[in-house]
Structure 1
């Protein structure tokens, strides 16, 4: 029995341009602080200003990100964000910020931006959402061993995140995770026939038209590149 095509995990995303006056959150809520790398003095205006000054003095200035516990125990990842953060650099920083909070099994993560550039804040927000979907995504389950389901269900973004394109981040994560899922399947679970069945099921699910060419048709079309892929398979 082949595994069913995967679905993206549920993750609620909320945006509020108002930064909370208090950063003392409930148990099980993690915090990510986004600080401009070139203007770290913005933390002087934070609710935890004095506490942050004392705690960050224990770390080298090159440390990034930094994981601390807030005054009342809130697990907090602090990221110092450069103005030119883009692409892979943004995704790498997002993963590093989120991973320790996921390891702590936070059910909710609040992201607070003190960045002075909304565009940069939105880039990091989209990267954080992509990182969350990648961490939550279940890879193929081929045994009876119970899955370790991470509890993260909500991400709240406080600050100038209004133009963050979370729909794009979600769609990209869905495609990336499907590719990851397929590459994790062993060969006996992903024969050419089963792969075709997955493709046809996905087309039906998404409302796409699909047409299947068998080996005889491909030979008449002289599609050697496609035929060479399946030569080693017992399935025509």
Structure 2
């Protein structure tokens, strides 16, 4: 059955009768059916109420303009991010979803610090794909809307949902570009999105399933499937002890789970001696707060306190999949922060790898302890750049919320590269102060060289945490990304479902891509 079969019935009448519902039921239960997502821009003038993309125009021409007619009579013009679904228009596509792309001329908005045109495509395509998934349509073709990379990202990110432990799962949907020759750009977008989805998968997994050991094994498997230029070292507790990583070990000793130091190398450069980028990620696979225990409400979300490790490892996995011509090293200290008779106590003093002593006045400020040792170790590789990522402070969530990742850096050059990458991906970053004002607050400690919290307690908490980390850095290009505010998504990013966000994986990937392109030019 199709709308063509009802040719003697006015289209307006058809929309107002039960025939439309019967048609919907028919299409919904056609298990072998395909769906199509098409984009439409907001009209600039009254006589331009409907502006199809090129793919939309081709499709509408193939059915003698019926889609435009239906859109005209079925309601007001589609606004950005809204959708409308039609059934039986085409024998190959029983389900057609039209999505609003907003302004056709949308571009980089300097105030918003993102490319709004790209973001509109991601959001619109995600809406269409989810609507077809809800109708249990297993095969979907997507209008690339002038940017196949972004359309692919919207499709793959929009469809992701962590349901691995549920008996009932959503329909698995395969997506591919419709009527496009931009297959390379589409596949690149798929790769970017799958990288972020890997981080989301890791961050969503319950802590009893994702231990430090299983985290390392998952990353090892993911990396070995991407490239033969990979080395993975899963370092044991005895190795950590040999490295004299006393700060890391002090956190790990509160749990029965053995700590792991994950070290990954992607050797993509044709010059083996080329200085690598080194990414460091906080890997607390569950954070109870230790003796300074967290409130029970919301503590389950602390399964994602390894978000830093998840994003940097996923970004490197993506770089390997893209076969980028540069060297990247990932370092992830992995452990739990729990409470037992051996756990850190407020007032304890521990010694980091570089010999500095740290007074632990708050055991819930544990991320900076494990990162301190990892940052010291990062300097062994003569790095060109060191970037660390961590769900480090609630203060960052208070400061920026979910709008952007907070970036603290000693390098204007590095900041500009991270900012440029974030404008492309829509996963924004915002520069935060790294003043000596904050350094003094962590270096004036009663019992040790440093204190793991600022002397004014919660004031400037994200800034004092960054100042603490800087005490373990000597390279000229270092950035600390505090991702606590972007850890999860409610409805802020329309192309991500509710849950752990995996941000800013794509921004890290785009940053690696930009540096690899610079290497090739030089």
TM-score, normalising length: structure 2:
0.33
Structure 1 residue 209: deviation in Å?
0.9
Match of 2:153 in 1: 130
Matching of residues 116-195 of structure 1 within 5 Å: 121-122=146-147, 125-134=148-157, 137=160, 139=162, 141-142=164-165, 145=167, 147-148=168-169, 150-159=171-180, 161-162=181-182, 165-195=185-215
1:87-106 deviation per Cα after TM superposition (whole angstroms, max 9, x unaligned): 44432222112211121122
Tell me: CA distance 1:213–1:66, structure 2 relative to 1, closer, same or farther (3 Å).
closer
Report which stretch shifted further, 178-187 or 207-216: 207-216
1:49 aligns with 2:65: yes
Q: Looking at both structures, which has the greater relative contact order when contacts are Cα pairs under 8 Å and sequence separation is at least 6?
A: 1
| Residues 151 and 189, structure 2, Cα contact 8 Å, conserved in 1 | no
- Partners of 1:230 and 1:177 in 2: CA distance: 28
Q: 2:135 is matched with which residue: 104, 107, 129?
A: 104
Counterpart pick for 2:252 among 218, 230, 233: 230
Query: How big is the shift at 1:51?
Result: 5.2
| Cα deviation code 1:1-24 (max 9, x no counterpart) | xxxxxxxxxxxxxxxxxxxxxxxx
TM-score by length of structure 1 reads: 0.65
Q: Which moved more, 1:177-186 or 1:84-93?
A: 84-93
Give the conservation status (yes or no) of the 8 Å contact 2:42–2:77: no
Deviations 1:173-219 (A, max 9, x none): 22112111111221111222222333333444444212233334434
Deviations 1:117-171 (A, max 9, x none): xxx612xx3333334334555736346x2x4352533534125x53761232222
- The separation in 2 between residues aligned to 1:209 and 1:153, in whole angstroms, is 32
Change (3 A) 1:227 1:169: farther
Higher strand share: 2
CA RMSD of aligned residues (A): 3.6
2:237 maps to what in 1? 215
Q: How many residues of Structure 1 are paired with residues of Structure 2 in the alignment?
A: 201
